[in-house]
Amino acid sequence: MSDRDGLTDGGTATRDRSQSGRPDSPVVSRLRRTAGTWLFRLAYLVVFAFLLAPILVVVASSFDATGAVTFPPEALSARWYGELLASEAWTRAIRNSLVVATGTTLFATTLGVLAALGVRRLDDDLSAVVSALAVLPLLVPGVVLGVTLLVFFSEFGLQQRLPTLVLAHSLWATPLTYSVVRATFARFDWSVRDAALDLGATRPRAFREVVVPNVRAGLAAAALVAFVVSLQEFVMTLFLSGRDTRTVPVKAWNSLRNSLDPLVSVTSTLLVVAVLLVVVGAGVLVGLERLARDS
């Protein structure tokens, strides 16, 4: 925290007080200022700890030798990672998660890019309608979506299939890829592409050779967001998956409902590591600031 800190600027606090007719001595006002700064720091550090402490605890407990799921672990060991690899149910869940997340990434990114390209040419009112429609599914509670899709897809015997999960996850991933790609396109100077078109390039070629290289980071960020959304989605999948199509979060949920399975810590840790890699990757590609604002 620098001295730009608005809450801690005590020089003006003195002025404020003297205006209200209760001048404090410089010592008192300095104390006030220091106390205010530390209170503010303490408050946001508590929130920071609130957000991240659980994740640390999960990672630590995955290395507990006893499998008691306690913190801090009494003796460190990686034995539960071995147990995980030996468990067929868990490895299948991991495989399902990866397959669905990859499918969702490809599908949602394609839809998002196409729509973001198309919507540029619509007038403002129409593009607002398209954007609103695109974002709508994100606002429907997951339970309701899960129930709706279960009822609908079971009519055709399509529930409990991996492609169905891809479609369900895309319902939430597509609005995000669309928004990220739109934000990316808004920063691109399209006259460069128009120049390529004037020079005789076909539209696909101009897109491939002029647009893509310039917006690559944004497209990658969109794909990563889609991947993570699919990896962590759970309520819809709870309703739509069966014994053979469970993803990691659903398998973890089922284990948790029964007992505290140490393998939950292990898979949770793997999920956290995957997410960290993605956030770091996206941070390198487009910058954390932009990721924070676009997604």
Q: Which is nearer to other proteins, 147 or 217 (CB)?
A: 147
125 binds other proteins (CB under 8 A): no
Chain centre to alpha carbon of residue 70: 27
Among 84, 231, 240, 266, binds other proteins (CB under 8 A): 231
Residue 76: strand pairing partners: 64
213 binds other proteins (CB under 8 A): no
Supply the minimum distance, in Å, between the C-beta of residue 150 and other proteins: 8
The upper half-sphere exposure of residue 30, i.e. CA atoms within 13 Å in the direction of its Cβ, equals 3
208 binds other proteins (CB under 8 A): no
Among 182, 221, 239, 245, binds other proteins (CB under 8 A): 239
Q: Which is nearer to other proteins, 78 or 143 (CB)?
A: 143
CB atoms within 10 A of CB 37: 17
291, amino acid identity:
L
31 binds other proteins (CB under 8 A): no
Closest by Cα among 73, 74, 95 to 84: 95
Q: Which is nearer to other proteins, 279 or 285 (CB)?
A: 279
106 binds other proteins (CB under 8 A): no
Q: Which residue has the tokens 């001048």?
A: 23
Among 94, 100, 101, 111, binds other proteins (CB under 8 A): 111
Positions 143 through 202 that interact with other proteins (CB under 8 A): 143-144, 146-153, 155, 167-168, 170-171, 174, 178, 194, 197-198
Among 84, 252, 266, 286, binds other proteins (CB under 8 A): 252
Q: Which is nearer to other proteins, 198 or 244 (CB)?
A: 198
76 binds other proteins (CB under 8 A): no
Among 115, 173, 223, 240, binds other proteins (CB under 8 A): 115
Q: Which is nearer to other proteins, 215 or 264 (CB)?
A: 264
Positions 9 through 28 that interact with other proteins (CB under 8 A): 9-10, 12-13, 15-17, 19
Q: Which residue has the tokens 């893509």?
A: 212
* Those residues with Cβ within 8 angstroms of residue 94's Cβ, 6 or more apart along the chain or in another chain: 248, 267, 270
> CA-CA-CA-CA torsion for 170, 174, 180, 183, nearest 10 degrees?
180
Supply the minimum distance, in Å, between the C-beta of residue 272 and other proteins: 6
Q: Which is nearer to other proteins, 103 or 112 (CB)?
A: 112
38 binds other proteins (CB under 8 A): no
> How many residues sit in the footprint of other proteins (CB under 8 A)?
104
